[in-house]
C-alpha cells in the first residue's frame, strides 16, 4: 500500500493551477451516454474516479478516447448493456449517475449498489423517488437497483426533493431531458456542478432552466446530440490550497478559480485574519503578515451556497493550529468526524458530541502514523503534517488520489515537503 510521508514545511509560496472539478466531470461523463454522437469534455482531471467512470461507460458500450491530456471523447452510438456491474460501481458512489441516462435513452437500467467514501449514509431513495415520479418501475434488491420505463417512455412530473441532494438532482435531470412533457425539480440542489451539468445538457439540445436555483424546469426533447464542454474548476481543490496557504502562514496565487464558488471559505478565512484578494490572474491567499495573528472561527456545513461539507475536515485541521476555541457543526453527513481521532493523535485537542466538534486551537502538532479515512480527511491530514514537528505518515492514500490531480507534484511545486512511498 502506498503512503505519503509529510515533513514540517516552510510557508508555502508560489502559484498553483486548479484542475477540472471531480464532482462535475463524473456526471458530465455519465450524461454523454444520452447522445448517439460524440461528446468532447475538456479539462478532465487525471483521477482514479475518472478512470473508474471510463471503465463503467466502456462496459455499457461507450468508446472512450483521450484526444490529448485532459481532453476526453465519449462516443456511444449504441448502448450495448444497461447493467453497471458490481466490480466497477462498488469502487465509486458517483457510478449510480449512469442510471438516469440509461433509463432515459434505453428505458432500462440496472446498477449495483455504489461504493465510495465511508462518511455516512448516502441513500439513493431520492433518486428512486424521482424515477418513479417520471413513470419508471423501480425494483430494489439488496445488491442492485433496476429501473424500467413504461413502453411509451418517461413522462414529465413535478418532483419535490426532501433534501437538496446533488446526486438525485443530477440523476433526475438526466432522466427527464428525454421525457415527454415538462419536469420540475423542487428543492433542487444549487451547487455549481448542477449548473455545469445543465449547461452541458443544453449544449446537447436539452431545454433546462433554473439550474443553480431551488427549482429546475426541464422540457423534454426527443433526442440529444453531441457537444463539447469544459469542466468548471474544482472548488474543493481550490479551498484545499487556500487552507494550505493559511495553515503554513504562506502566500499563494491560485489560478483557474471561480470566486463565487468559494465564497463561504473566503469569508471564514477572512474572519480568521487571512487575506484573500482576487485579481485578473487569479486568487491571492496571503497569511504571512507578521502583524496579523490568525484566530479561530466557527463553521457549520450546509448545502450550497453554505459552507461545503467537503472542506469541513481540512478547515478543522487549520483551526487546530490557530489561537482560540472554535466549533464545527456538520449537518450534511452524520459520520464525517472520522478524521478527529487522527488529528488528535497528532496532538490536536478536539472533542465531538454528535454532529458538533469543539476545538481548542493553538496546539503544537506532532508527526504520527495516521490513516486517511476518506478523501477530504486525507487532505486534512496532509495539511496538518505540513506544520507538525517530525514526520507524518499517512496510509490509505488511495482515497486522496481519487479526488486530487497531481497531488504530490502540485504541493511540492509550492514548497511542501511531501513524498509518495510505494510499499
Instruction: Check for a shared fold between 3-19+233-421 and 22-230.
Output: yes
Tracing cell 486568487 back to the chain, one arrives at 283
| pLDDT single digits (tens) 282-311 | 999 999 999 999 999 999 999 999 999 999
Order the strands of the 38-42 sheet from edge to edge. Answer: 63-68, 71-75, 38-42, 228-230
In three-state secondary structure terms, 145 is: strand
Residue by residue, pLDDT tens for the chain (423 residues) are: 899 999 999 999 999 999 999 999 999 999 999 999 999 999 999 999 999 999 999 999 999 999 999 999 999 999 999 999 888 888 787 889 999 999 999 999 999 876 544 434 447 899 999 999 999 999 988 888 999 999 999 999 999 999 999 999 999 999 999 999 999 999 999 999 999 999 999 999 999 999 999 999 999 999 999 999 999 999 999 999 999 999 999 999 999 999 999 999 999 999 999 999 999 999 999 999 999 999 999 999 999 999 999 999 999 999 999 999 999 999 987 667 999 999 999 999 999 999 999 999 998 999 999 999 999 999 999 999 999 999 999 999 999 998 999 999 999 999 999 999 997
Instruction: Give dist(CA 116, CA 99) in Å, integer.
Output: 17
Active site residue 117: yes
Question: Which superfamily does CATH assign the domain made up of 22-230 to?
Answer: Enolpyruvate transferase domain (3.65.10.10)
Do the beta carbons of residue 4 and residue 393 sit within 8 Å? yes
Each residue of 25-69: pLDDT tens digit?
999 999 999 999 999 999 999 999 999 999 999 999 999 999 999
* CATH 3.40.30.10 assigned to 3-19+233-421: no
Lay out the sheet containing 207-209: strands in order across: 158-160, 182-186, 215-219, 207-209
Alpha-carbon span 69 to 171, nearest angstrom: 28
Q: Domain residue spans in the chain?
A: 3-19+233-421, 22-230
pLDDT at position 325, please?
98
A 10 A CB-CB count for 129 gives 16
Max CA distance (Å), the chain: 70
CB atoms within 10 A of CB 265: 26
Cα–Cα distance for residue pair 146/144, rounded to 1 Å: 7
Which pLDDT score, from 0 to 100, does residue 116 have?
A: 47
Q: Is 391 helix (H, G, I), strand (E, B) or coil?
A: strand
pTM of the model: 0.95
Element (H, E) at 197: helix 192-203
pLDDT (0 to 100) of residue 117? 43
Among residues 39, 117, 147, 272, the one annotated as catalytic is: 117
Amino acid at each position: 500500500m502506498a503512503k505519503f510521508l509529510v515533513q514540517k514545511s516552510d510557508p508555502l509560496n508560489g502559484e498553483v493551477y486548479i484542475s477540472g472539478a471531480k464532482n462535475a466531470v463524473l456526471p458530465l461523463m455519465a450524461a454523454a451516454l444520452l447522445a448517439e454522437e460524440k461528446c468532447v469534455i475538456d479539462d478532465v482531471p487525471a483521477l482514479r474516479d475518472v478512470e473508474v467512470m471510463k471503465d463503467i461507460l466502456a462496459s455499457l458500450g461507450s468508446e472512450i478516447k483521450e484526444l490529448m491530456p485532459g481532453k476526453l471523447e465519449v462516443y456511444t452510438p449504441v448502448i450495448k448493456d444497461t447493467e453497471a456491474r458490481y466490480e466497477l460501481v462498488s469502487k465509486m458512489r458517483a457510478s449510480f449517475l449512469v442510471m438516469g441516462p440509461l433509463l432515459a435513452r434505453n428505458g432500462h437500467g440496472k446498477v449495483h449498489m455504489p461504493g465510495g467514501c465511508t462518511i455516512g449514509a448516502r441513500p439513493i431513495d431520492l433518486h428512486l423517488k424521482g424515477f418513479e415520479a417520471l413513470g419508471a418501475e423501480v425494483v430494489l434488491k439488496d445488491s442492485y437497483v433496476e429501473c424500467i420505463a413504461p413502453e411509451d417512455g418517461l413522462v414529465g412530473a413535478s418532483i419535490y426533493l426532501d433534501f437538496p441532494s446533488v446526486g438525485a438532482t443530477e440523476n433526475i435531470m438526466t432522466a427527464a431531458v428525454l421525457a415527454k412533457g415538462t419536469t420540475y425539480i423542487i428543492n433542487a440542489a444549487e451547487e455549481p456542478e448542477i449548473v455545469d451539468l445543465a449547461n452541458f445538457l443544453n449544449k446537447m439540445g436539452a431545454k433546462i432552466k433554473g439550474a443553480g436555483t431551488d427549482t429546475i424546469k426541464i422540457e423534454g426533447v426527443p433526442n440529444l446530440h453531441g457537444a463539447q464542454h469544459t469542466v468548471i474548476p474544482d472548488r474543493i481543490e481550490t479551498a484545499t490550497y487556500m487552507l494550505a496557504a493559511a495553515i503554513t502562514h504562506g502566500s499563494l496565487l491560485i489560478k483557474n478559480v471561480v470566486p463565487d464558488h468559494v465564497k463561504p471559505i473566503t469569508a471564514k478565512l477572512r474572519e480568521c485574519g487571512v487575506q484573500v484578494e482576487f485579481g485578473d490572474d487569479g486568487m491571492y491567499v496571503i497569511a504571512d503578515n507578521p502583524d496579523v495573528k490568525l484566530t479561530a472561527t466557527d463553521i457549520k456545513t450546509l448545502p450550497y451556497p453554505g459552507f461545503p461539507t467537503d472542506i469541513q475536515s481540512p478547515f478543522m485541521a487549520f483551526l487546530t493550529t490557530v489561537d482560540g476555541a472554535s466549533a464545527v457543526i456538520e449537518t450534511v453527513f452524520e459520520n464525517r468526524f472520522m478524521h478527529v481521532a487522527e488529528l488528535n493523535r497528532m496532538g490536536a485537542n478536539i472533542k465531538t458530541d454528535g454532529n458538533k466538534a469543539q476545538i481548542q486551537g493553538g496546539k503544537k502538532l506532532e508527526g504520527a502514523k495516521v490513516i486517511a479515512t476518506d478523501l477530504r480527511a486525507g487532505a486534512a491530514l496532509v495539511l496538518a503534517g505540513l506544520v507538525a514537528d517530525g514526520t507524518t505518515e499517512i496510509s490509505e492514500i488511495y482515497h486522496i488520489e481519487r479526488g486530487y490531480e497531481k497531488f504530490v507534484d502540485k504541493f511540492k511545486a509550492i514548497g511542501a515537503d511531501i513524498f509518495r512511498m510505494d510499499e
